[in-house]
């Protein structure tokens, strides 16, 4: 029986849960192997007596450890070595999601945290190895890549690179049709302050979710100092304010620890004020738990009843927010990767990583769709699928119009963020195409013409010709928006230009109509004469 303590060892509940599982395994007389952060950070706890343990950087030897344990041996592999390989065999919990570690350890020394004990000092994977892994998993069919780290912002400081360099290299490997999305992992404020503009530019990229997890932990500078967090509340505000200004619609999540040793009513009030000021859509609220061997464990604790009361108060404040009000009726593109816990809805996310629940076939997992938001809840919104996104030419004109996106620069001939050139909406003066009002008139005329002709044979022929013309356009790649090609399209679809085959078909229809009428007249006269 292998138990992997994958949950954060910062908090006592993680270790308590692991202790319970170990006790159950021992009671059932099962051979046990315990892996992950808990044994690495707390190797001497009595619960680990008599079981095999594997450290966080020895996971590639887990098969060897299991085999030895089944033979009755107790194995302990905790010594650190080089970084584990990125391509170890795995079965993904969700086949559409790749969780990609970019480094291990951290540069911080928070007084309450035991992660440093378990993960050690910062160790970053190279840019080339991570970019190569991204390319591999995309070929495997992965649709979301989650970068994981104890502190994403610290990436590369041990190997002479930085986070923007890595992110640009990864983005370069993502499909240009945005069929695979990137989610950036948790980052503490100190190490991204100098890269905010670069990070903002990456978060605006069509293939990157506009979402970032930035833990603040407290709204009091005095408590942040006691935590040894190495930033101030104003520096955290700078991060949030800058990203909010530079990345439209961004969602920022944060963390709060209630009841840290020495926290006064004033300190807690400052935390509440900070959360109220920003109304974060996601706030992870926890109570302080002293971890053995950490400096905070030796500090004077806040009474547990006060800690619980503060946690309840902050939770009540947070749950009163309505972050998704105003989304109802909006049209959004979502990426669908999971099934909701109710077993009815599929789960997708918008560009800003808002969770959208839709009713659809499971075959839509791993796809992208355009949805209309029909209602909003506290934790997610509900949507109705309008159409799926074509993976080759991923946005039609109608979708662009609904989303209201400006997808090209004022002087470009085509849009650069899709896999195929697409008609430009810049206007005839700069791009040589139709302007919005002309396109709208054409669309209305087409609809009116179709309504008039729907019930006639000639209308059938016109619709058939229109479909053929559209197919011709698709086959010939007429989507660049140039005036000449648009004229060719219009000419091909125009009802006034008849080819030989069209004339023959129309002539045959007319002859058939006259023959039928003549036959009916003849039969009518014959019936009358017989009477």
* DSSP secondary structure string for all residues of 281-342: SEEEEEE--PPTTSGGGGSPPPPHHHHHHHHHHHHHHHHT--TTTT-TT-EEEEEEEEE-TT
Place of tokens 């479909």: 467
Residue pair 112/294 in contact (Cβ under 8 Å)? The answer is: yes
Q: Are 372 and 347 in contact (CB under 8 A)?
A: no
When mean pLDDT is compared across 319-333, 386-400, 458-472, 509-523, the lowest value belongs to: 458-472
Degrees to nearest 5, angle at CA 281 with 279 and 286 = 90
Band (pLDDT 50/70/90 cuts) for residue 404 is low
pLDDT exceeds 90 at position 303: yes
What sign has the CA pseudo-torsion 365, 170, 124, 197?
negative
| Per-residue pLDDT band at 390 (split at 50, 70, 90) | low
The helix (H) or strand (E) run that includes residue 373 is strand 368-376
What pLDDT does residue 41 have? 64
Q: Which residues contact 132 (CB under 8 A, 6 or more apart)?
A: none
Which of 4-8, 102-106, 303-307, 492-496 tops mean pLDDT? Answer: 303-307
The mean-pLDDT minimum among 157-161, 337-341, 378-382, 461-465 falls in 461-465
**Core vs surface per residue 290-301: b (16+ CB within 10 A) or e:** ebeebbbeebeb
Rg, C-alpha atoms of the chain = 31
pLDDT, tens digit (0-9, with 9 covering 90-100), for 466-485: 334 433 433 443 333 334 33
Distance CA 514, CA 519 (A): 9
Per DSSP, 407 falls in state -
Q: What are phi and psi of 291, to 5 degrees?
A: -100, 130
pLDDT score for 51: 80
Predicted local distance difference test score (pLDDT) of residue 121: 78
pLDDT at residue 227 is higher than 90: yes
Q: Residue 34: which H helix or E strand, with range?
A: strand 33-36
Q: Would you say how long the chain is, in residues?
A: 531
pLDDT at 512 over 80: no
pTM for this predicted structure: 0.66
Query: Largest Cα–Cα distance in the chain?
Result: 118
Beta strands per DSSP E along 52-143: 52-54, 76-77, 97-101, 103-104, 123-124
147 confidence band (pLDDT: 50, 70, 90): very high
Question: When comparing pLDDT for 170 and 50, which is higher?
Answer: 170
Rounded to whole angstroms, the Cα distance separating 192 from 151 reads 10
| Average model confidence (pLDDT) across the chain | 77
The stretch 309-313 carries a mean pLDDT of 97
Concatenated DSSP letters of 134-192: HHHHHHTT--EEEEE-S-GGGTTTTTT--HHHHHHHHHTTS-TT--SEEE-----GGGT
At residue 43, the pLDDT reads 64
Helix (H) or strand (E) segment spanning residue 62 = helix 62-70
Structure tokens at 455: 């019930």
Q: Would you state the pLDDT for residue 427?
A: 34
Reported as half-sphere exposure (CB side, CA atoms, 13 A), residue 328 has a value of 7
- Does the structure show a pLDDT above 50 at 320? yes
Name the residue among 312, 219, 229, 305 with its Cα closest to residue 266.
219
- pLDDT-derived band at 113, boundaries 50, 70, 90: confident
Q: For the CA atoms of 446, 451, 454, 458, what is the dihedral angle to 10 degrees?
A: -60
Express each pLDDT in 436-453 by its tens digit.
333 333 333 333 333 333
- How many CA atoms does the CB half-sphere of 499 hold within 13 Å? 10
More confident residue, 528 or 92: 92
Of 354 and 498, more confident: 354
pLDDT at 348 over 80: yes
In 3D, which of 299, 281, 282 has the Cα closest to residue 290? 299
**Alpha-carbon torsion angle 256, 261, 266, 271, nearest 10:** -10
Q: What is the pLDDT of residues 248-278, one digit of tens each?
A: 999 999 999 999 999 999 999 999 999 999 9
Is the pLDDT assigned to residue 144 strictly greater than 80?
yes
């Amino acid at each position: 029986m292998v138990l992997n303590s994958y949950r954060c060892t910062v908090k006592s509940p993680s270790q308590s849960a692991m202790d319970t599982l170990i006790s159950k395994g021992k009671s059932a007389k099962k051979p046990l192997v315990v892996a992950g952060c808990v044994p690495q950070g707390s190797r001497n706890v009595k619960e680990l007596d008599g079981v095999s343990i594997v450290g966080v950087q020895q996971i590639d030897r887990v098969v060897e450890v299991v085999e030895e344990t089944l033979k009755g041996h107790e194995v302990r592999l905790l010594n650190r070595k080089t970084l584990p390989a990125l391509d170890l065999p795995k079965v993904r919990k969700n086949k559409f999601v790749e969780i990609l570690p970019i480094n291990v350890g951290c540069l911080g020394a928070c007084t309450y945290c035991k992660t440093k004990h378990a993960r050690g000092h910062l160790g970053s994977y190279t840019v080339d190895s991570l970019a190569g892994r991204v390319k591999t998993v995309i070929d495997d069919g992965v649709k979301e890549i989650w970068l994981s780290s104890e502190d994403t912002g610290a990436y590369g400081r041990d190997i002479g690179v930085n986070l923007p360099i890595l992110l640009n290299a990864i983005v370069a490997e993502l499909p240009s049709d945005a069929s695979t999305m990137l989610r950036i992992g948790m980052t503490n404020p100190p190490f991204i302050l100098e890269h905010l503009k670069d990070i903002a530019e990456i978060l605006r990229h069509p293939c990157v979710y506009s979402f970032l997890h930035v833990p603040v932990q407290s709204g009091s500078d005095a408590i942040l100092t006691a935590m040894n967090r190495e930033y101030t509340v104003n520096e955290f505000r700078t991060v949030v304010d800058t990203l909010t200004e530079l990345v439209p619609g961004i969602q920022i999540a944060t963390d709060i620890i209630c009841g840290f040793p020495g926290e006064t009513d004033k300190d807690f009030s400052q935390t509440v004020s900070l959360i109220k000021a920003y109304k974060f859509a996601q706030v992870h609220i926890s109570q302080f738990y002293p971890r053995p061997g950490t400096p905070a464990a030796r500090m004077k604790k806040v009474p547990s009843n006060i800690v619980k009361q503060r946690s309840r108060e902050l939770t009540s404040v947070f749950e009163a927010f309505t972050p998704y009000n105003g989304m109802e009726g909006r049209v959004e593109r979502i990426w669908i990767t999971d099934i909701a816990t109710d077993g009815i809805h599929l789960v997708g996310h918008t560009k800003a990583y808002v969770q959208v629940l839709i009713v659809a076939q499971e075959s839509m997992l791993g796809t992208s769709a355009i949805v209309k938001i029909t209602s909003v809840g506290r934790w997610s919104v509900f949507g109705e699928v309008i159409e799926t996104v074509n993976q080759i030419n991923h946005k039609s004109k109608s979708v662009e119009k609904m989303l209201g996106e400006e997808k090209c620069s004022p002087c470009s001939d085509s849009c650069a963020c899709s896999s195929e050139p697409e008609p430009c909406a810049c206007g005839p003066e700069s791009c040589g195409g139709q302007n919005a009002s002309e396109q709208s008139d054409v669309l209305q005329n087409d609809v009116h013409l179709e309504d008039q002709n729907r019930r006639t044979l000639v209308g059938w022929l016109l619709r058939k010709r229109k479909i053929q013309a559209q197919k011709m356009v698709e086959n010939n790649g007429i989507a660049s928006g140039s005036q000449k090609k648009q004229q060719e399209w219009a000419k091909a679809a125009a009802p006034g230009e008849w080819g030989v085959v069209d004339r023959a078909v129309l002539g045959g229809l007319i002859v058939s109509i006259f023959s039928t009428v003549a036959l009916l007249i003849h039969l009518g006269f014959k019936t009358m004469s017989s009477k």
